[in-house]
Amino acid sequence: MAYNGKNYHGWQVQPNAESIQGMMNHAIGLILREEVNLVGAGRTDTGVHASEFFAHFETTQNLGDDEELSHLAFKLNNFLPKDIAVYRIFPVGPKVHARFDATARTYKYYISRIKNPFHYDTSYYFYGELNMERMNEAARILFSYKDFTSFSKTNTQNNNNLCDLYDAKWEEENDTLVFTIRANRFLRNMVRSIVGTLLDIGQGKLEVLELHRVIQQQNRSSAGFSAPARGLFLHKIEYPDELFD
C-alpha cells in the first residue's frame, strides 16, 4: 500500500486523531464484516508519507484466489479516501510479521530548491546556498557509528538506539535534492533530524567533522533541527524472499 500522510497523525491508531491504521482497520472491517487489526511494518510519524508500506492482518474467512483478492483490493480502494491506496492483498504464513520480518527499510527525503506549488505537500522548500559535497562527506561519517541516540526522540520505548546503516547519500534531480538512507531499523524522528543536521553542515553552520562530536554526545540537543515531515517518504521495505513463496 501507499499513502500521503498530510492529513494523518501517523500510521498508528491513537485516541481523537485520524491515523492510517485506523482508516484501514475501519475499511477492511466494513468489507469483511468482522473486526480487523492491521499490524504495520513501522510507525511513520504525523505528516510522513509512504510510497511502499506493508501490513498484515488475520481473518477467520477464506478470501479466495488471486482474482478474488484483486477484487477485494479494488473494493477496499473504493472505501478508502483518495490519499490511501492498496496495491495488492496476498496470503502469507501464520508466523509472518510485517514489522519484525523486515530486513531493511529505505527512506527518501525531498528538498525543493524552487517554490513549486505542486510539490509543496511532498517536499521541503529550502531557500539558501547548500554545499552538496560537504553534505555527502558528512553523510559518509554516519557509517562509522551504530548508536544514533543524538537523532532520536527522547522517552521512546526502544530497548536500544543501535542501527545498522547500509546507505546514506545526497543526489540532485533537476530542482530537487534527494537524501536516501537505508538501514535495518530507524529510530523515531531519526531521518528528519539527520537531514536537519546535514542541512546545517551544507549551510556552513556546522563543520563536517563536528558531526563526530554530535553523534558521540548521544544527546538530541546536540544535533540540528528536525526537517519538516512533508518531505519524508518511507520508500521501500525489504523482506526475505522465502516469506512470499
Q: Where are the beta strands (DSSP E) in 21-140?
A: 39-40, 49-50, 55-56, 84-85, 104-112, 124-125
For the chain, give every domain's residue range: 2-91, 104-238
CB neighbour class for 244 (10 Å; exposed up to 12, middle 13-18, buried from 19): exposed
Reading phi first (left if > 0) and then psi (alpha if -120 to 50, else beta), residue 80 is in: beta
214 DSSP assignment: H
Q: Which helix (H) or strand (E) holds 78?
A: helix 66-79
Low-confidence ranges of the chain (pLDDT < 50): none
Does the domain at residues 2-91 carry the CATH identifier 3.30.70.380? no
Residue 157: the pLDDT is 64
Tens-place pLDDT, residues 8-58: 999 999 888 999 999 999 999 999 999 999 999 999 999 999 999 999 999
Alpha helices by DSSP H, listed for 54-131, are 66-79
DSSP string, 42-58: --PPTT-EESS--EE--
Q: What's the whole-model pTM score?
A: 0.94
Looking at residue 245, its pLDDT comes to 64
SS3 call for 237? strand
Residue 55 CA from chain centroid, whole number: 14
Q: 3-class DSSP state for residue 40? A: strand
pLDDT of residue 153: 83
Inter-axis angle of helices 66-79 and 20-32, to 10 degrees?
Answer: 120
Cell numbers for 86: 492498496
Give residue 143's pLDDT.
Answer: 97
CATH assignment, 104-238: 3.30.70.660
541516540: which residue's cell?
149
- State residue 201's pLDDT score: 98
Q: Which amino acid is at 115?
A: K
Q: In the structure grid, which three cell numbers stand for residue 37, read together? A: 487489526
**Which of 237, 238, 130 lies closest to 178 in space, CA to CA?**
130
Task: Enumerate the active-site residues.
Answer: 45
CA distance linking residue 44 with residue 145, whole number of Å: 23
What pLDDT score was predicted for residue 203? Answer: 97
The answer to whether domain 2-91 and domain 104-238 are alike in fold is yes
